[in-house]
Amino acid sequence: MAYALRAYSGPLMLALLLHLAAVAALHGGWVPPQELGMKAFKPQIVHSTLIVMQPKAKPKPRPAPPKPAAAPPAKAPAKAEPRPQPKPQVQVDLEAEQRRRQEQERQRRLAELAQASFAEALASEASELAQDDDEARAQSYRFGIYQRVVANWSRPPSARNGMQARLLVELIPTGEVIGVTIVESSGSGAFDRSAEAAVRKARTFNVPREADLFEAHFRRFSLLFRPEDLLR
């Protein structure tokens, strides 16, 4: 017994150490690559400049916001006051009136959107360091949303490079889409519908569980659909 203890305790320790090291390596190596990929690298390459610039660029050139070269759909974190989701309804007598009201509403909301984004941009500049981490994480989720929307988007044959439609998407904290509104039409009904359908088909998005991060970036955000990779 004593001999067995003497002869085997060393090897047993070594074996246990080796397995612990293997488990630790597995644990360390299993999770981070995904996290890193999600958090830092991909989003920066694809989106960071766009997102930062959007709030400032938006207010003035309202009809057609000039965009630097961008990946097809772009999103901006945005806040606006709660608002029931308006579905375009066909009512002949009220149509003109309604359209006008909608237009006003839209203008107002966009202005507010811009205001809010602008304020947020200012705030973010003030406390840049504190927000850096949050921003990076929001980016990773944005990238996830972007991928999901792109995967679900089937563009109509009438789509052309340079067309753009902006959608306002409203989510609830579980990530389910509860509202999609076309904020800025591309001029082609089919294109607008395809964009809206892409969001509706996605149904749910992966959103951060932290309430403040969700409220800040994902409760309501706008999506810009603009194909740039088409042949025609």
Partner 1 sequence: MPEQISIFELVANASLLVQLVMAMLALASIVSWMMIFQRWFFLRRVATEVDQFEAEFWSGVDLRELYTELEGHDDLSGIEKVFMGGFKEFQRLAEQPGAEVDSIMQGVQRGIRVALNQEEVRLGAHLAFLATVGSTSPYVGLFGTVWGIMNSFRSLANMSQATLASVAPGISEALVATAMGLFAAIPAVIGYNRFSARVEELMKRIEAFSDELTSILHRAAGARAPAPK
**Site residues for partner 1 per CB under 8 A:** 7-8, 10-12, 14-16, 18-19, 22, 26-27, 30-31, 34-35, 144, 148, 205-206
Q: What are phi and psi of 167, to 5 degrees?
A: -115, 145
CA distance linking residue 131 with residue 127, whole number of Å: 6
Nearer to partner 1, 7 or 119 (CB): 7
Nearer to partner 1, 86 or 144 (CB): 144
> Residue 147 CB, nearest distance to partner 1 (Å)?
8
Nearer to partner 1, 31 or 211 (CB): 31
> Residue 1 CB, nearest distance to partner 1 (Å)?
16
Nearer to partner 1, 4 or 96 (CB): 4
> Residue 211 CB, nearest distance to partner 1 (Å)?
19
Nearer to partner 1, 32 or 162 (CB): 32
> Residue 13 CB, nearest distance to partner 1 (Å)?
9
CA distance linking residue 112 with residue 120, whole number of Å: 12
> Residue 148 CB, nearest distance to partner 1 (Å)?
7
Bridge partners (DSSP) of residue 123 are none
Cβ burial 185-220 (10 Å sphere, 16+ → b, else e):
ebeeeebbebbbebbeebeebebbeeeebbebbbbb
Tokens 């080796």 appear where? 18
- Within 10 Å of residue 183's Cβ, how many Cβ atoms? 17
